[in-house]
Amino acid sequence: MEKDREYGSKRVNTGIPGMDDLIEGGFPKNTVNLLSGPSGSAKSLFGMQFIYNGAKDYDDTGLYLTLEESKENLKRAMRCFNMDVDKFEKKGKLILVDVGKIRTKLRTESDVKKGIVGFGKLQNFLENFLKSTKAKRLVLDSITAAGLYYKENEILRQELFAFTSFLQNKEITCLLVTESLNESGDITRYGVEQFIADSFINLGLERISGELRRSITIRKMRFTRHNTKVHPLLVTETGIVIEPEAEVF
């Protein structure tokens, strides 16, 4: 109980307009948070803002691991939303690591199958990297890509559980991105991710009046009295804006 109260009293602000109003001021410090959604629901943008706002507004060093997009595409996307990524990258407060680029440098297909982006390799990388950078925020985009390197679901689940436990024992607040198998974002790619994370956030694409509209739902968050309604999520020229007072019907 003491540990629960400690986690609940210390918050890591996302800085995303409207988001922190739904979760008592931010993510509980040093927790692992899962963000799920279909293609086009703004998952990566959410992660970018979480990392960037930490560096800009709270002096938190942030680490963004991308397993699918290239580093240059990621930086280009951030600039499109007026994020001065180069400024904070030069200061060492914003660290972007293109794991996919590392994978392409492997010499043989057998090396790829050994799992350069598997959870064990990611854990080994982070063990040393977190110490040297003293990062306080981490985004992994996405665990879906890492999971593809496991042929058996049971092994995948064991590795993912071990990886999540590793992160929960580090002094870092994490956001793990995964894809969903439906537009509401509540059915995850492997069906187990939501059970091992401290929180489960869905980004959805709701069909309203013949068009798709983005939404957000906080389905689970430990140590938090969180809002559970479906709220509109807007993508503006400066990034995501959530409307905590409005609901999606």
Confidence of residue 102 (pLDDT cuts 50, 70, 90): low
CATH class of 2-242: alpha beta
pLDDT at 87 over 80: yes
* E strand map for 100-230: 137-141, 173-179, 199-208, 211-221
- Which pLDDT score, from 0 to 100, does residue 68 have? 87
121: which 2 tokens?
């390799």
Report how far residue 26's alpha carbon sits from residue 200's, in angstroms, rounded to the nearest whole number: 14
On the question of pLDDT at 213 being above 80, the answer is: yes
> Residue 163: its pLDDT value, please?
97
Domain boundaries, the chain: 2-242
pLDDT category of residue 107 using cuts at 50, 70 and 90: very low
Q: Is the pLDDT of residue 112 over 90?
A: no
| pLDDT recorded at residue 111 | 47
pTM of the full structure: 0.91
pLDDT tier at 1, thresholds 50, 70, 90: very low
Token pair in block for residue 14: 């996302």
Task: Give the pLDDT of residue 5.
Answer: 40
Q: Are the beta carbons of 67 and 104 closer than 8 angstroms?
A: no
User: Confidence band (pLDDT; 50, 70, 90) for 103?
Assistant: low
The one-letter code for the residue type at 99 is V
Q: For the CA atoms of the chain, what is the radius of gyration?
A: 17
Q: What is the pLDDT of residues 155-167, one digit of tens each?
A: 999 999 999 999 9
User: Can you read off the two tokens belonging to residue 200?
Assistant: 């489960």
Share of the chain above pLDDT 90, in %: 76
Evaluate if residue 106 carries a pLDDT over 70.
no
Q: Indicate whether 170 pLDDT > 90.
A: yes
- The bridge status of strand 231-236 relative to strand 94-98 is unpaired
Mean pLDDT lowest among 4-13, 60-69, 84-93: 4-13
